[in-house]
Amino acid sequence: MSDTNNYIAAIDIGTTKIVAIVGKKNDNRKIEILGFGKSLSKGVKRGVVFNIEETAMAINEAVSDAKEMANIDFTDVFVGIAGQHVKSIKNRHSKYIQGAENEITKEDIEELTSDMYQISVDAGEEVIHVIPQSYIVDNETGIRHPIGMYGKKLEANFHIVIGQITSAKNIRRCIKRANLNPMKLVLEPIASADAILTRDEKEAGVILVDIGGGTTDIAIYYDNIIRHTAVIPFGGNSVTNDIKEAFSILQRHAEKLKIDFGSALGSLAPENKVVSVPGINGREPKEISFKNLSSIIQARMEEIIDTIYFEIENSGYFEKIGAGIALTGGGALLKNLPQLIKYKTGFDVKLSYPQKFVSIKNNIKINEPMYSTVIGLLIKGNEYNKVFQAKNINISTNQNSKKKEVVEERKGRGGFLRNFKRSLTNLFDDKETGM
């Protein structure tokens, strides 16, 4: 980033809210959050931008609040991308190692990874992330760190995340329309995972389930490597819409019912309790039983959980999950949801918060599951900056080295010319002396 103080800023463009935060790395190796802003999301449906102008205005509102709170003016931001258009594939690529000693270098690894961004994808799609899984050196499999090894042929297995070009372009347009510079688009489940999962969880095998307003994001880790990602086009808004349609009430009333009185387990809801919803424009209020409300919520949540279960099975890592499910996102706060997910999947379920990886100033209340994604984007931004700075140092070092070589070469040429001129002078002097 261009800021000399190395501040990091991130924006989560969600279906229900847009969040902007700015922070920096502190001495305790945590991200210190300095500013925070939130606005009502407009122009976004199921994680996909469909109205650039409205979304840009909402981004501006959130960013202005974050800048004012932190008293920092920033332009470079890291942004999340999700939506049902996102998919993942697996691929393998190889290369022969050049050089007399056949030593595998960092440049060989980078070349393999870079080639994966050029693979053939369907029309209208682009590669968002390329994540190495494991390496093979001369048919020796399961290698994690091949740099420094000797071999003639290097192969790698990759997890590749693909998304629609138009969706990515629309996000970038929104950011630029808000007078910001999108540094990098990051897949939201990968960002959320960095905010809430520990290294032990990733090693044992864990399933991240991030339930947002418009989508449910999934990321599966095993042996400290991400193995599967998916985005399900259903989230908390689907539950709210079901309540609205079932009882013929307003959206805001349905959302309040879900949060204040709803439960993901209909069997635990009291049968003799009711809640009164105001009538529209002076009409009679409606009485809704807790039991009926929870039954509607459970039906939709079971549908979402069934899709999650399918993705876990499809990943090929169902039997290797040792740490269960880490549940996060605003939709994860639904009452009794962890119990329902455990009953339906058989995995242990833990409601996860991002507070382990951040420290907070200005009394910002951001230690909630609904902010896992934006905090993860900040963490990813910090990692990106480190790599970017390291590359710049290498480039600078290489350029200085090349300049030095050129100077030395020129000096050498100059010395040769001086010696040559001196030789000619001596030659003529000798001839004149002899005459």
Q: What is the CATH number of the domain that holds 305?
A: 3.30.420.40
State whether 152 and 223 are in the same domain.
no
Residue 112, domain CATH: 3.30.1490.110
Task: From 351, 374, 405, give the residue that closes a domain.
Answer: 351
Instruction: Kindly state whether residue 60 falls inside one of the protein's structural domains.
Output: no
Cα–Cα distance between 128 and 238 in angstroms, integer? 27
33 with 355: CB under 8 angstroms? no
Contacts of residue 107, defined as CB under 8 A and 6 or more positions apart, other chains included, come to: none
Of 331, 327, 310, the closest CA to residue 207 belongs to 327
- Residues 204, 347, single domain; the answer is yes
- Shared domain for 143 and 255, answered yes or no, is no
One domain for residues 239 and 133: no
For 174, residues 6+ apart whose C-beta sits below 8 A from its C-beta are: 13, 49, 52, 55, 56, 59
Q: Using DSSP, state whether 139 is helix, strand or coil.
A: coil
Q: Which two tokens stand for residue 136?
A: 């093979």
Q: Are residues 335 and 205 in the same domain?
A: yes
Residue where a domain stops, chosen among 137, 163, 189 = 163
CA distances from 210 to 61, 68, 122 (A): 25, 29, 27
Q: For strand 206-211 and strand 216-222, is the pairing parallel, antiparallel, or unpaired? A: antiparallel
DSSP reduced 3-state for 189: helix
If phi over 0 gives left and psi between -120 and 50 gives alpha, with beta otherwise, what is residue 3? beta
pLDDT of residue 64: 96
Asked if residue 187 is part of any domain, the answer here is no
Q: Is 103 within the bounds of a domain? A: yes
The beta strands (E) that lie in 87-224 are given as 87-96, 125-137, 140-143, 153-164, 181-187, 206-211, 216-222
> Are residues 131 and 219 in contact, defined by beta-carbon separation less than 8 angstroms?
no
> What is the pLDDT, as a whole number, of residue 99?
72
On whether both 304 and 238 belong to a single domain, the answer is yes
Backbone angles phi, psi at 348, to 5 degrees: -65, 140
What total of structural domains would you count in the chain?
2
Identify the domain boundary among 317, 351, 385: 351
List average pLDDT for each run of 10 residues in the chain, which is 435 residues long. 67 93 79 90 86 94 94 93 87 87 90 93 91 92 90 94 92 94 93 93 96 94 93 93 94 94 92 89 89 96 97 94 96 95 96 77 77 92 70 48 51 52 46 39
Q: Sign of dihedral through CA atoms 199, 219, 390, 73?
A: negative
Task: Say whether both 150 and 276 belong to one domain.
Answer: no
Closest CA to 325 of 346, 302, 301, 356: 346
Helices 290-315 and 337-345: crossing angle in degrees, nearest 10, is: 50
Structure tokens at 380: 């990813």
Conformational region of residue 108, where left means phi above 0, alpha means psi within -120 to 50, and beta covers everything else? alpha
Write down the pLDDT at residue 196: 93
226 and 272 fall within a common domain:
yes
**CA pair distance 5, 23, nearest whole angstrom:** 10
> Which pairing describes strands 274-277 and 286-289: parallel, antiparallel, or unpaired?
antiparallel
* 81 CB burial (10 A radius; 0-12, 13-18, 19+): buried
- Kindly state whether residue 325 falls inside one of the protein's structural domains: yes
DSSP 310-372: HHHHHHT-GGG-SS-EEEESGGGGSTTHHHHHHHHH-S-EEE--SGGGEEE-TT----SGGGH
Q: Is 25 helix (H, G, I), strand (E, B) or coil?
A: strand
In whole angstroms, give the CA distance from residue 264 to residue 304.
Answer: 12
φ, ψ for residue 323, nearest 5 deg? -105, 5
Q: Do 328 and 222 share a structural domain?
A: yes
CA atoms within 13 A on the CB side of 86: 29
Do 302 and 219 reside in the same domain of the chain?
yes
Please give the Cα distance from 258 to 297 (Å, whole number): 8
CA 28 to chain centroid: 23
Domain assignment present for 382: no
The residue segments making up the domain with residue 323 are 198-351
Examine the domain organization and report whether 157 and 222 are in the same domain: no
pLDDT of residue 364: 72
- pTM of this prediction? 0.82
Instruction: Let me know if residue 261 belongs to a domain.
Output: yes
Is 23 a domain residue? no
> What is the model's pLDDT at position 45?
87
Burial 225-253 (b: 16+ CB within 10 A, else e): bbbbbbbbbbbbbbbbebbbeebebeeeb
262 and 145, same structural domain?
A: no
CA distance 96 to 353: 45
- pLDDT at residue 30, as a whole number: 74
* φ, ψ dihedrals at 46, nearest 5°: 50, 45
In a domain, 288, yes or no: yes
